[in-house]
Amino acid sequence: MGITHANSITTEPSPSPRPPLLRLLPQPRRRRHAHAKHIALSTNCKCASAASASVEEDDVAGGLGYRHPPKQIQEILDVPPNPSYLISPRRDRIMFLQRTAMPPLSELTKPEIVLSGIRIDPGSNMRSRMSFYTGIIVHDLMDSGTLGPAKEVHGYADGAKINFVTWSPDGQHMAFTVRYEDKVDNSVNLSLWVANAESGEARPLCISEDIRLNAIFELFVWVNDSTVLVCTIPSSRGCPPKKPLVPFGPRIRSNEHKNVVQMRATKEMLKDLHEEELFDYYATSQLILLSLDGTVKPIAPPAIYTALDPSPDEKYLMLTSVHRPYSSTVSYKRFPKKVELWTVDGTFIREVCDLPLAEDIPITSGSVRKGKRLISWRPDMPSTLYWVEAQDGGDANVEVSPRDIVYMELADTLNGEKPQVLLKLDLRYRRISWCNGSQALVYEHWYRTCRTRTWVISPDCKDVSPRVLFERSSEDAYSNPGSPMMCRTPAGTFVIAKIKTNYEGTYILLKGKGATPKGSIPFLDLLNINTGVKERIWESSKEKYYESVLALMSYNPKCEIQLNHLKLLVSKESRMEPTQYYIKAWPDKTQVQITNYSHPYPQLALLQKEVIRYQRVDGVKLTATLYLPPGYDPSKDEPLPCLVWSYPGEFKSREAAGQVRRSPNKFARIRSNFPLLWFAILADPTIPIIGERDQEANDRYIEQLVASAEAAVNEIVRRGVAHPDKIAVGGHSYGAFMTANLLAHAPHLFCCGIARSGAYNRTLTPFGFQKEVRTLWEATDTYIKMSPFMSANKIKKPILLIHGEDDSKVTTAMQSSQFYDALKGNGVPCRLVILPFERHHYVARESVMHVIWETDRWLEMYCVSNSRNIQVMESTVDTTWSPACEALALYFTKIYSLSKLVHLAFAQIFHQEVKK
């Protein structure tokens, strides 16, 4: 199973085979002598023979295939997730999309081609490893708020994998793709289907064998209620180009013009002319208009289309494509890009823009591409375009005012009208939420200062000046006003819903997460845009439940909703009750439950969860979520082994870093990428790295990292829930980086570590990482000091490294391999597990189960059975036994390959028996 190293295994005993779930049960306090006897006897039962113990150690060391945790743990991880949902445009139906838990490893082993930042499945001409749905269930939404009878979409064969599910604009049909796999030649039959929403009957939309789908980029989009625009493989395409046996010439990369091109590390770019030909081959599409009656009409010439956007009035098509010259440095997103306007009947209107290759975008956060960007249709107008253009050349390091300008113009400029300036911004444009011709909300933000502004503009009223509605720090969760509730128009676009009340002014709804010092309390506010005055018309329960507004269920063609007729889709959950969906209706705010999902893992129904607050030595307030076994009582039961699992974050102020952004009432979900709760877990303790004012946060990374971890450990020890000698630390990605640094710079806090998919040598990411925008040459000392690779000789505690072999991010598997070699070269107890075919996150069932097994084993050996307990045992047991007792204990210890701790326990037991 990839790379294993026998010499990384110590002579510690193998972990107990007892199910980890049993460790959830609290153990009564025992005196140390009795506890030692218990360990000895249980270990003696486990090692029934020397041969079996030897085989198990050989198995662990040699890596004999994938391992699995106990059945109880597998049952938890195999629980399929709840279905996803899609609400119809007119809010009269809802479909639930059924999903599976984890794919088998065989799904990951299929051939794929990596080109320009994307991974392609050549057998289906779509992205590789796409998740999928297994079934579609449709319900009518009744006036009472209840669901009508379930209608299962049918017509396709069993075993179909469903993707790209969308409603038609009128909600009478659903379109989706169905794919089947030929197990003989690994080919995939990918076809476009349409289903009747009333009957659930589905059929292929195109039965011609000459039409094959191209799903590399956007596959299809509804143009109107009965027509879809589809990307297909050009009929003239032959076999894929073959790589020449004799190279055409050497690979040459030149920068003789002294361009400044800085890119964060990646390994998926185009490498040579052959890969450029492959990119053209797989990504080029022929567009066709496909009607529900089967009529097919080609439109526009073949090109590499990356986006298809019909105008709201169904008259125009905005087609975005990329073209040569390509780059070996950046992905397709920065290739030369062309945007064109066509009529729906296939007539070319004009070219909106043709942007050059963008290799030179600075790495500084807030830097963007030159020229027109984010070109979109106004959702509240028939066919009006809007876009943004940077005035600083796209370089966030340039000081200029304004920094961005938002423009607008009609699709077909018959008289050569110039674009209209909507708004000039001094920060970087983020987005617009359109309401109607008289109002829209424009958002801007600046990373360095964390300032964010929300403007109210009147796009169709030139005599009304823009004004600031909100201005705040983007880090300040407590002051977040929320986001506007959106309503779907008959054209299928989304605009801000206007709320009709008995008061004067224009009202909208703002929904927010409601971060407070006591935890998140989601809310719904009624906002008067004219005055800025808000009224809270609903908020979540504060005591037991966590409720959240998901979507607006009221429908009006003009998107004007009477407050007394307001209907919302909301979710509701508690610590012990899984999420359910409800329809909440005004004016009485009554709610009707529309789902009834059972507890996914009743074994953990009584799991204890608490959001705790504590303080760092410098006064920064911190937060964490503490999970404890059912029935555990720290006032009666002994401290538990504990795993601290976290991910650091950067802040510009200590006040923002100390804010609570979680709820104690949320349901505890067990995910495949999160450690199992087999004993105490301190989940996501805030690890803020703060750089106030002109300070750079990472210049004090180590000091703040250690201070935050020390505060967390002190708090759980103070509470009596964690044994100070049995606290492990772990994390994924940047959390793995954190783990390695803590073992290097805070060895007194943790007994071992688990690091997954980490990057440990920052000199291999010289053009920035996370929110660090300085290069290696600008902040050399910081890069070196932050790299745990450079401090491998300081690590003494055992560390488990896990990595996906195909990780293509800056955290390549090479990072873990080199870090392991550095640790091993310094005699550090370590273990490296490379997961074949896995990327940055692990998805295959075999991989996930093996990761849990590795985690269980590591914690059992180096946390639960921490070797520091040997010193405790030696200082507390009676060591005045006779030579005969010593000899007998040594005999049992050696033949069963047991640890020194068990040797001491055996000797104590034999000595007590002799005295009797």
Q: Which residues are catalytic?
A: 733, 807, 840
What is the residue-wise DSSP string for 440-462?
EEEEEEETTTTEEEEEEE-TT-T
SS (H, E, C) 664-685: CCCCCCCCCCCCCCCCEEEECC
Which segments within 485-566 are labelled E, that is strand?
486-488, 494-496, 498-500, 507-512, 523-528, 534-539, 545-552, 560-562
- Alpha-carbon torsion (203, 205, 207, 209), positive or negative: negative
């392609």: which residue's tokens?
A: 120
CA pair distance 715, 641, nearest whole angstrom:
14
CA distances from 592 to 145, 193, 463, 571 (A): 6, 33, 46, 11
d(CA 376, CA 421): 15
Using CA atoms, how far apart are residues 864 and 861, in angstroms rounded to an integer?
6
Beta-carbon contacts of 787 under 8 Å, excluding residues fewer than 6 positions away, are 760, 761, 762, 763
Whole-number Å distance between alpha carbons of 363 and 395: 9
472 strand-pairing partners:
452
Q: Output the 3-class SS for 23-89.
A: HHCCCCCCCHHHHHHHHHHHHHHHCCCHHHHHHHHHHHHHCCCCCCCCHHHHHHHCCCCCCEEEECC
Backbone angles phi, psi at 701, to 5 degrees: -60, -50
Cα–Cα dist 867/139, whole Å: 58
Give 618-659 as a DSSP string: TS-EEEEEEEE-TT--TTTSPPEEEEEE---EEES-HHHHT-
**Token couple for 633:** 């009582």
CB 878 within 8 A of CB 911: yes
In this structure, how many other beta carbons lie within 10 angstroms of the beta carbon of residue 371?
16
Contact residues for 770 (Cβ-Cβ < 8 A; gap 6+): 650, 734
Whether residue 675 contacts residue 615, with contact meaning beta carbons closer than 8 Å, is answered with: no
Nearest CA to 909 out of 187, 297, 36 is that of 36
How many other CB atoms sit within 10 Å of the CB of residue 201?
A: 13
Please state, in angstroms and rounded to a whole number, the distance separating the CA atoms of residues 91 and 556.
10
For residue 687, give Cα distances in angstroms to 153, 706, 809: 47, 9, 23
Tokens of 793: 């000789």
